[in-house]
Structure 1
Amino acid sequence: MRQCTHTGTLPRPEPEPRSRTCPECLAEGTHPVHLRLCLTCGNVGCCDSSPGRHATRHHERTGHPVMRSYEPGEDWRWCFVDHVLV
């Protein structure tokens, strides 16, 4: 079974969110379906079901490996590099 090799390198405590919603969606006039929080820098981006896929684009630009759901009541995490739930 695959495991994430990046959780040990993430900052502790996790970074504060930079915003309350996806700023790129706001700038584009679109609505995020669900929000994701980058666990390296605190960037908030929208999920892949959103038109902009800004959380994935953030990973592609920065290489930051792990994000978590930024939705109320959810705490799951995803490693973009290892393609596994953390």
Structure 2
Amino acid sequence: MNLSDDARSILVFAAYHELTSGEPVKEVVLDDGAGHKASGKGQEELIEAGLIRINSDRAHITEDGEQVLVEILNAIRQATGD
């Protein structure tokens, strides 16, 4: 899988929320109304890759997406000494 940084940023946003909450993240807001908006290009890539499904203003992370998110979190932890 070869994703753009636009797509990666959405997954990293989910990883951020998982790291700060300590809880698994199953969905993320795509437009918070305060100027933070997920890239449309990134959304399309993740949909095509089967990693998210869009439901209104949220991206639901699929089972495959959850696996990628785990890999991202593991990479962050490994890179920072955990």
Larger helix fraction of residues: 2
Normalized against structure 1, the TM-score is what? 0.31
Bigger fraction of residues in strand: 1
TM superposition score normalised by structure 2: 0.31
